[in-house]
Chains A and B, each alone.
Chain A
Amino acid sequence: MTRPTIPLGLVFSRSGPYAMMGREMEKSALLALDEVNQSEAFDFTFTPHLRDPRGLVAAYHTACDDLIREHGVDHIVGCYTSASRKQVIPIVERTERLLWHPARYEGFESSDNVIYVGAAPNHTVVPLVRHMLENIASDVFCAGSNYVWTWETNRVLREIVTSAGGRILAERLLELGETAVDHIVREIIERKPPAVFNTLVGESSYVFMRALHAASKRAGLAIPVLSCSLCEPELKLIGSAAAAGCITSSAYFESIDADENRAFVARWTSRHGTGSHVSVDGQSTYVCVMLLARAIRRAGSADVAAVRRAAASHRYDSPQGPVWVDPDNNHCFLTPRLARSVPGCRFRIFWEADAPVRPDPYLSNLDLASIGMKLDQRGDALAKRPTHLRVVK
């Protein structure tokens, strides 16, 4: 018996400036697609339509236009950067299609025609900054790539840190792809900040981590580095020693200790080899395809409106744990986690939320006062509250 097939658009940049992530995400999408196609649990198959926009923003629009008009595609899994997603949104909105977006992003968006499977800012930056304030320092040095993710992440960081009485010691930005990091590393070694917040991406980040590691070692310093984006394949690219010790916030780490994840990682390595690591964005791409397949099964059709209704609040026990779409904003309930990178290109998870956390793309529920209050209760030297706010008896 042949099952009906549903065309599925997969739009990932296998070449260009973020080709590494694009390839990881496409590999994960195809893994999920093969599993769906081989599973009797689904009464349909997916036919993949692969497109490589080569990291060119305008090419995302062209690729999706072609998929929708020429190949009858209703559902597209893809995009990595916010600039690419913004190119695709007008066309999926105009033609009433769905974009399943795997990557974490900076928030402040909620399209009816996008299912946001990646983490919202309340899943990533907020827990990381809270951890920093409670356990490391209230003053921080920021190094980042000059684009929307850094701008917005640093703004949230600044808002939380300053409301808790801390300071942003510096904000140094590099153009995307820039690898001249020495002046920033020199400044960090000279000023010895209690923490460094790294929102550099791609090659800039890898070169920075290596240079900071080497310089810290020479100077006999151990400055904690924090990140909301580092993932396992990147640890390998940076180098095991230089990548170790970075405190990272993410909804997925390869080391999550759960049956679903162990089985997923085993399937991944049997397909791509033991030297290959799953990344947060790769796993999230897998979750996109699985959420879509389950929603189509529940809806009994690939019709966009029916699939959107079927996906809403439907729980899927994914490798990263239970995930479901919040119909209020089309973002996902995810479990935030914090981990420290360790030698061997792995992360050791040291904190995770008790349950999946409601997505808050506009950070409208961010309670700055409660973060400051927690620090007050600790009453230690980390919490530098302004003196004029102290109770005087």
Chain B
Amino acid sequence: MDALDGNAIGGLLIDVFGAEMTAARSTCATCGDSRPVAELVVYRQAPGTVVRCRTCGSVLMVFVRAHGAIDTDLTGLASLSQPDRPLSGEQWLACRTSTQARIGQVGPTR
């Protein structure tokens, strides 16, 4: 399967976060590499999407569409920041109520 990049999941990320996220900066919890989400390595195979670090290959994000919800695993990320336009409380609320976010211990703990 061919890899895409984070541009390709702009729509999916709006579904999950309620905001444009391809320009947001991601930091890998494994190697610390920091770059825009648009530059991450993306594998799409319905119903799942896997996002990997471009430097070390670690899994950063996993999204699975099932039963009308998007199961979200962000444990591979140390941070996901959008300094210019932080998510509003309303957007977070919309995100949390419409997806089954399964966010574990976020941080470079491994």
Q: Do A and B come from one complex?
A: no
Q: Which residues of A approach B to under 8 Å, CB–CB?
A: none
Residues of B within 8 A of A (CB): none
